[in-house]
Amino acid sequence: MTKTHQFNLMLGDRRLPVDIHSLAVDSNGDVVGVGKQTFNFGFAYQSIPFAARYVETGALAHIDLVGQVGLLPFTAESPEARRAVSRILDAANSHLGPVFRLDDGRIELFGAAEVAAPVTAVGLVSALARFVLRVKPYIDCIDLYLEPSAEGMGRRLRPSYRRTAVRRKR
């Protein structure tokens, strides 16, 4: 006899699969969520911590995302790395639209992903995967200059790019 196992995926205070009582059928016969469904959750991709907010209104749903990539290298640390990472961010933003921004020297990755409503684990993970796969080549380029921090979240300048102290002759 085959055993079946049931499990639930918890995202914030939401349980997936969706509670059947939070669903309705619209005039076209499509299943829609009742009322506005909103929840927050987090995840990490390539050591980049993301904060996400899922918002669902009827048949429309999207996820707003913000990831903390790391610190833009200071010119004093490595002018070469600073210029290169800045060029990578500019290239990504010109190719994909505004997805990277600098906030007080911190590199943030942000955007939105569309999700089929009502949310399912497959729909949610698929939407997140589509988002991160678009930016992955740029993250890989940034990784040439920055490495994951020891804490495992965000990035910092690779030691090989650190400027060594120059002694002045007296």
Whether residue 129 is contained in a domain is answered as yes
Q: Which helix (H) or strand (E) holds 10?
A: strand 9-11
Banded model confidence at residue 7, pLDDT cuts 50, 70, 90: very low
Percentage of the chain lying above the pLDDT 70 cut: 76
Contact yes or no for 49/68 (Cβ under 8 A): yes
Residue 90: CATH number of its domain = 3.30.1460
Domain count, the chain: 1
Whether residue 60 is contained in a domain is answered as yes
Tell me: the pLDDT tens digits for 86-115?
A: 999 999 999 999 999 999 999 999 999 998
- Confidence (pLDDT) at 19: 55
- Average pLDDT of the segment spanning 73-88: 94
Q: Which domain holds residue 41?
A: 29-155
Whether residue 162 is contained in a domain is answered as no
Whether residue 18 is contained in a domain is answered as no
**Beta-carbon contacts of residue 81 (< 8 Å; ≥ 6 apart):** 73, 145, 146, 157, 158, 161
- pTM reported for the whole predicted model: 0.74
Whether residue 8 is contained in a domain is answered as no
Residue 116 has pLDDT above 90, yes or no: no
Q: DSSP E strands: which ranges in 58-166?
A: 60-71, 100-103, 106-114, 146-148, 155-157
Tell me: the pLDDT tens digits for 18-49?
A: 555 566 677 887 766 655 678 888 889 988 99
Whether residue 17 is contained in a domain is answered as no
CA neighbours closer than 13 Å in the CB half-sphere of residue 73 = 27
Whether residue 61 is contained in a domain is answered as yes
Whether residue 49 is contained in a domain is answered as yes
